[in-house]
């Protein structure tokens, strides 16, 4: 009878709860993603954070960059950046906004006590601003000062330069992607709100460098121990028009150069340094324009260098500064060509101005080593000051360069002004190049790039990278970076002699030695007559003989004496994860509760057995 | 959550079952076999259930669908329990006949109850391994996990505590059920499926945000009821049986 009452009560309880469900069903809003397996659960527990790491670089005298201090992963609670960081109790991972980064790192470099409390640093990415930060420059005030052909190496070419990237940090640093910034912001905010003592959100940094494990602290030892590789890559040169090997006459050369890589605090990501590539884009557009001119003959021994090009459209005028080292006749000729070129374009819209006399010489550029080697080189650096890329200014620079090159190239026979005025820049090509080389969408998945290369990363990476394999004149394409391969294919195609007949496919290579295969990787390669080559670019202090070796300095190579010989450490894997962790007290508590339950249930069972036996015997 | 927490969670879910095994079951090989075959039977019932429900995958996230799934699952398992009882009855007759032939005593009531207990423990342990231990591997790593609908306790703690409740329910329900079938007592026969269904449906409370604070105590309440009912029934039965013997003597 007593049970029937229980039964009724139970049934009504169940019915009541079922009723509750029908009320709550709409309000519960059960719309969670399901965990369907243990690996799913594992993935939900450990959130992989996308980021760009700062890695360990070594030079002749020491190290720069960042790495885990030892051989193990670094795990630390994530803490928001505050101005009173010195109040931190235990080593933490600091979430830093990008505008506070330079000051913070300068402080860390000088204050060793504060640096000990920092287990790792996470730099946020400003949403909406992508990679552009006004005035951010981790390089020094005079980049590449050691290669300057003049004595004043303290001149402030880069006022915004903080020099933070040249310091050595013994903790890992990551630049977060936009997505990860949002996720970590959420985590830190909810931690601030809940302030739970029992669990805490941590970041786990895996930036263990091989040089740290082996104990190498400079390039020489790490190259010997094979724990690093030298920084370097493949430059590209191409001749317009293609060199006719059978012709006896050797023509003099005009060299137009632009840099295709950039240094950065974070290995695969540059903040606002895209202006480096603007010079390259201007040069490519200029070559494209020139390639449409018939009978381009080149002679004259002059060097024109296109440096970085940026904004500068004040009152509708684009102002470019030309820098020369010495007022040689060669340099004067280049300057005059530039002025004539500027004049032939829309008048009063482009101005070539001589650089200020307070400058000690040419600005940091690829021209510096040329002058250091041979002070009578005729060369000009064309530059315009910093910050954001502007397609119109790139088009202007390209137009000036293209026309100036034509003037210089025809300086013997004189140039034709009708041909000069027909040299115009394809503005849509410039836009396409900007989209391919300077953005992640489309990046290297753009149409122009897809005809030339196959890239795994849509986001173009302009970090110079390391020399893979041995440095050879015809490298295997997997050892050449995406940017270099793109430029090679572009120049090979533009600087080729166009044949009337359809081009042959080069799946088996090209027959004639003067031909190269454009777009070989895509499978739809085409043989063209062009003189385009890769040039291995690495320190003159290194030699490759079954591995890299540092060679002694010699008097014939003065630049080798000041060459820092940059190398990059090997690593096993680089990663960043975030997860929740319980306090140690909690873990111990759970263990003891489990043990207590087991023991007490054992005791209870024995007691029950004894009680039953006793009562039955009694009866 | 580290190794100590992982071991802790495993012990919370299966510690009492381990104690029961060591103190009652381990010394008798027949009981060990019973535990194993009962566990196997429970797993077979789940395989059949999942095969039947395969046709309806993927399931939408709806409490009513979950309820229907639970009801079909409990019904199938209760059906298997009856099947298990029938197999046991046949085995009991065979064993008794064998005992008569070799002039050894027949199965005592306590033996029969221990066999039922072993059967229940087999069900419980299989439930624990399937629904808790298999998910516990990540708990041995450094991270923990909180479900959105239960931010008060880690997921692994919820899982382990619920499992302990169900191990208790399964273990002692079998004793009640076997007794109910043996004595033809309707109350006992109905108690077990109702309790099983109630406990299963109560787990749906955990889906509501903050529900785990209510759901888990409710399941423990049901487990306590089961334990109480079983205790009362065993006490009564054993005393009835032994007083009958004395009367007979």
Among chain A residues, the shortest Cα distance to B190 is held by A7
| CA A428 to chain CA mean position, Å | 26
A7 to chain B nearest CA, in Å? 7
Residue of A21, A577, A592 for testing the chain B interface, max B β-carbons within 10 Å: A21
Residue from the list B16, B67, B201 with its beta carbon closest to the beta carbon of A598 = B16
Q: Is B132 touching A (CB cutoff 8 A)?
A: no
Least confident window among A133-142, A187-196, B169-178: A133-142
Q: Say if residue A347's pLDDT is above 80.
A: no
Least confident window among A58-72, A108-122, A266-280: A266-280
Q: Say if residue B44's pLDDT is above 60.
A: yes
Question: Residue A558: pLDDT band by 50, 70, 90 thresholds?
Answer: confident
Q: Contact, B206 vs B158, CB < 8 A?
A: yes
- pLDDT tens digits for range B189-204: 999 999 999 999 999 9
Residue of B4, B50, B230, B246 for testing the chain A interface, max A β-carbons within 10 Å: B4
Task: Write down the pLDDT at residue A146.
Answer: 67
Q: Contact, A402 vs A290, CB < 8 A?
A: yes
Residue from the list A584, A593, A612 with its beta carbon closest to the beta carbon of B12 = A593
Q: Say if residue A29's pLDDT is above 60.
A: no
Identify all chain A residues contacting B139, using CB atoms and an 8 Å cutoff: none
A577 to chain B nearest CA, in Å? 11
Indicate the SS3 state at residue A95. Answer: strand
A190 to chain B nearest CA, in Å? 12
Which of A99-103, A324-328, A554-558, B130-134 is the most confident on average?
A: B130-134
Is B142 close to A579, i.e. CB distance below 8 A?
yes
Burial of A387 (0-12, 13-18, 19+ CB in 10 A): middle
Residue from the list A204, A588, A590 with its beta carbon closest to the beta carbon of B9 = A590
Is A199 close to B146, i.e. CB distance below 8 A?
yes
Concatenating the DSSP letter of every residue in A481-529 gives: -HHHHHHHHHHHHHTSBPPSSPPPB-TT--SSTTEEEETGGGT--EEEE
Q: Is B9 touching A (CB cutoff 8 A)?
A: yes
In this prediction, residues A317-327 reach a mean pLDDT of 66
- pLDDT tens digits for range A363-398: 767 777 777 777 777 777 777 644 456 788 888 888
Cα(A404)–Cα(A339) distance, integer angstroms:
8
Q: Is B204 touching A (CB cutoff 8 A)?
A: yes
Is B11 close to A18, i.e. CB distance below 8 A?
no
Is B205 close to A199, i.e. CB distance below 8 A?
no
Among chain A residues, the shortest Cα distance to B19 is held by A602
Q: Is B249 touching A (CB cutoff 8 A)?
A: no
Least confident window among A180-194, A263-277, A577-591: A263-277
- pLDDT tens digits for range B152-192: 899 999 999 999 999 999 999 999 999 999 999 899 999 99
Q: How many CB pairs under 8 A join A and B?
A: 154
Residues 6+ apart with CB under 8 A from A597: B11, B12, B15, B16, B164
Six token digits for residue B99: 């005992």
Among chain B residues, the shortest Cα distance to A39 is held by B138
Task: Write down the pLDDT at residue B8.
Answer: 96
Cα(A153)–Cα(A162) distance, integer angstroms:
16
Residue from the list A10, A44, A606 with its beta carbon closest to the beta carbon of B145 = A44
Q: Which of B105, B109, B119, B97 is nearest to B182 (CA)?
A: B109
Residue from the list A13, A591, A609 with its beta carbon closest to the beta carbon of B7 = A591
Residue of A199, A598, A603, A617 for testing the chain B interface, max B β-carbons within 10 Å: A598
Task: Write down the pLDDT at residue A326.
Answer: 65
Six token digits for residue A307: 């440096």
Q: Is B7 touching A (CB cutoff 8 A)?
A: yes
Is A580 close to B144, i.e. CB distance below 8 A?
yes
Indicate the SS3 state at residue A363. Answer: coil
Is B8 close to A42, i.e. CB distance below 8 A?
no
How would you label B44-64 residue by residue, b for 16+ Cβ within 10 Å and e otherwise? Answer: ebbeebeeeeeeeeeeeeebe
Q: Which of A133, A134, A108, A107 is nearest to A119 (CA)?
A: A108
Stated length of chain A: 619
A66 to chain B nearest CA, in Å? 25
Residue of B143, B165, B183 for testing the chain A interface, max A β-carbons within 10 Å: B143
Is B154 close to A199, i.e. CB distance below 8 A?
yes
Among chain B residues, the shortest Cα distance to A42 is held by B138
- pLDDT tens digits for range A398-437: 888 888 888 888 776 677 788 888 888 899 999 999 889 8
Note if the bond before A404 is cis, omega within 30 degrees: no
| Torsion angle in degrees (nearest 10) through CA of A340, A428, A280, A251 | -50
Cα(A280)–Cα(A274) distance, integer angstroms:
10
ipTM: 0.93
pTM of the predicted protein model? 0.81
Top pLDDT among A93 and A258 is at: A93
Task: Write down the pLDDT at residue A368.
Answer: 74
- pLDDT tens digits for range B63-89: 888 899 999 999 999 999 999 999 999
B47 to chain A nearest CA, in Å? 17
Residue of A17, A74, A590, A602 for testing the chain B interface, max B β-carbons within 10 Å: A590
Indicate the SS3 state at residue A479. Answer: helix
* Parallel, antiparallel or unpaired: strands A317-324 and A313-314: antiparallel
Is A605 close to B135, i.e. CB distance below 8 A?
no
Identify all chain A residues contacting B148, using CB atoms and an 8 Å cutoff: 32
């Amino acid at each position: 009878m007593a049970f029937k009452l229980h039964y009724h009560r139970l049934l009504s309880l169940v019915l009541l709860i079922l009723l509750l469900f029908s009320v709550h069903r709409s309000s519960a809003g059960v719309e969670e993603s399901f965990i369907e397996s243990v690996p799913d659960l594992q993935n939900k527990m450990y959130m992989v954070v996308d980021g760009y790491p700062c890695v360990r670089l070594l030079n002749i005298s020491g190290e720069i960059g960042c790495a885990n201090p030892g051989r193990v992963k670094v795990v630390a609670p994530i803490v928001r950046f505050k101005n009173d960081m010195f109040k931190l109790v235990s080593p933490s991972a600091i979430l830093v906004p990008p505008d506070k980064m330079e000051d913070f790192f300068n402080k860390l470099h000088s204050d060793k006590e504060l640096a000990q409390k920092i287990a790792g640093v996470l730099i946020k990415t400003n949403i909406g601003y992508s990679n552009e930060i006004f005035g951010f420059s981790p390089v020094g005030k005079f980049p590449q000062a050691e290669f300057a052909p003049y004595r004043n190496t303290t001149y402030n070419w880069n006022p915004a330069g903080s020099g933070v990237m040249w310091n050595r940090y013994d903790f890992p640093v990551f630049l977060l992607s936009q997505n990860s910034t949002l996720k970590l912001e959420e985590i830190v905010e909810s931690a601030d709100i809940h302030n739970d003592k029992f669990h805490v959100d941590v970041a786990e940094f895996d930036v263990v460098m091989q040089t740290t494990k082996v104990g190498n602290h400079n390039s020489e030892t790490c190259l010997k121990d094979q724990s690093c590789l030298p920084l370097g890559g493949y430059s590209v040169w191409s001749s317009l028009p293609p060199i006719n090997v059978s012709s006896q006459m050797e023509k003099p050369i005009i060299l137009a150069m632009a840099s295709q890589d950039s240094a950065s605090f974070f290995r695969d990501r540059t903040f606002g340094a895209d202006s480096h590539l603007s010079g390259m884009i201007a040069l490519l557009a200029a070559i494209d324009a020139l390639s449409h001119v018939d009978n381009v003959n080149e002679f004259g021994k002059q060097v024109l260098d296109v440096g970085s090009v940026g904004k500068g459209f004040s009152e509708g005028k684009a102002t470019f500064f030309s820098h020369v080292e010495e007022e040689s006749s060669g340099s004067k000729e280049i300057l005059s060509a530039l002025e004539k070129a500027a004049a032939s374009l829309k008048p009063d819209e482009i101005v070539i101005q001589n650089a200020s006399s307070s400058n000690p010489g040419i600005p940091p550029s690829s021209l510096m080593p040329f002058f250091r080697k041979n002070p009578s080189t005729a060369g000009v650096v064309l530059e315009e000051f910093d910050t954001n890329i502007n397609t119109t200014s790139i088009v202007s620079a390209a137009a000036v360069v293209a026309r100036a090159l034509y003037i210089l190239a025809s300086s013997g026979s004189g140039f034709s002004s009708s041909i000069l005025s027909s040299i115009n820049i394809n503005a849509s090509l410039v836009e396409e190049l900007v989209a391919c080389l300077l953005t992640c969408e489309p990046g290297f998945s753009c149409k122009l790039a897809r005809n030339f290369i196959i890239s795994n990363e849509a986001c173009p990476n302009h970090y110079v990278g390391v020399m893979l394999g041995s440095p050879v004149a015809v490298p295997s394409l997997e050892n050449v970076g995406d940017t270099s391969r793109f430029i090679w294919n572009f120049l090979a195609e533009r600087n080729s002699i166009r044949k009337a007949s359809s081009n042959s496919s080069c799946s088996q290579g090209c027959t004639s030695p003067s031909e190269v295969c454009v777009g070989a990787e895509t499978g739809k390669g085409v043989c063209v007559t062009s003189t385009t080559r890769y040039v291995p670019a690495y320190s003159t202090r290194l030699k490759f003989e079954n591995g890299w070796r540092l060679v002694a300095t010699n008097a014939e190579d003065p630049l080798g004496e000041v060459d820092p010989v940059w190398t990059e450490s090997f690593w096993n894997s680089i990663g960043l994860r975030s997860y929740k962790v319980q306090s140690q007290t909690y873990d111990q508590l759970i263990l003891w509760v489990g043990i207590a339950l087991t023991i007490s249930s054992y005791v209870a069972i024995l007691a029950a057995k004894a009680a039953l036996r006793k009562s039955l015997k009694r009866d | 959550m580290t190794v100590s927490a992982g071991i802790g969670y495993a012990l919370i879910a299966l510690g009492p079952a381990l104690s029961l095994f060591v103190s009652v079951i381990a010394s008798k090989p027949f009981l060990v076999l019973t535990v194993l075959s009962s566990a196997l039977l429970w797993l077979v019932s789940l395989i059949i259930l999942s095969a039947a429900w395969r046709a309806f995958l993927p399931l939408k996230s709806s409490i009513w669908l979950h309820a229907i799934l639970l009801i079909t699952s409990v019904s199938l398992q209760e059906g298997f329990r009856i099947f298990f009882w029938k197999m046991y009855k046949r085995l009991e007759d065979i064993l008794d006949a064998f005992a008569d032939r070799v002039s050894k005593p027949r199965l005592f009531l306590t033996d029969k109850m221990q066999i039922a207990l072993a059967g229940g423990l087999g069900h419980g342990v299989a439930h624990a391994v399937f629904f808790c231990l298999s998910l516990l591997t990540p708990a041995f790593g450094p991270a923990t996990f909180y479900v959105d609908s239960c931010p008060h306790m880690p997921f692994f703690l919820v899982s382990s505590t619920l499992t302990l409740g169900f191990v208790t329910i399964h273990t002692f329900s079998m004793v009640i059920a076997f007794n109910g079938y043996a004595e033809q007592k309707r109350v006992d026969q109905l108690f077990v499926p109702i309790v099983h269904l109630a406990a299963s449906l109560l787990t749906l409370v955990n889906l509501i945000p903050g529900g785990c604070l209510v759901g888990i105590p409710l399941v423990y309440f049901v487990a306590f009821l089961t334990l109480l009912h079983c205790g009362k029934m065993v006490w009564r039965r054993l005393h009835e049986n032994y007083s009958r013997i004395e009367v007979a003597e």
